[in-house]
Structure 1
């Protein structure tokens, strides 16, 4: 496996992520707000506290990736 090929794939994934993130900015903002609100002060984020927001973001990324593949 050549080193340049690894970097090419990595750059493509990073570029793709930024495109998907741009398409899901509303869902990402909602998830970020939930995380920020549940971790004020010294509170720790507990599992499933923002599950609804995370699922919405995950679904958005999946759908955006499928649209891009077509």
Structure 2
């Protein structure tokens, strides 16, 4: 049995998560603030209230992941 199974690959990707998340800390904070501000008291979060902030966070994650997968010098 080989060590390069789906679990090994998943573990390797998860090891990158703290670095990727750190690259998107500002976007995550803005999204979190939006969610917090729109759910005061017992109010539930409604769809699309923070869509713009979520899209910015999602795009940041996508860019960070593609950079981590390609490596810092892949475009040279």
Output the TM-score relative to the length of structure 2: 0.77
Aligned residues: 70
Aligned to 1:59: 59
SS in 2 for 1:34: helix
Output the TM-score relative to the length of structure 1: 0.82
Q: Any gaps of 5 or more consecutive residues in structure 1?
A: none
Give me the whole-angstrom Cα distance separating, in 2, the residues matched to 1:54 and 1:28: 8
Q: Any gaps of 5 or more consecutive residues in structure 2?
A: none
Considering fraction of residues, name the structure with more helix: 1
Which structure has the larger Rg over C-alpha atoms? 2
Deviating 4+ runs (over 3 angstroms): 1-7
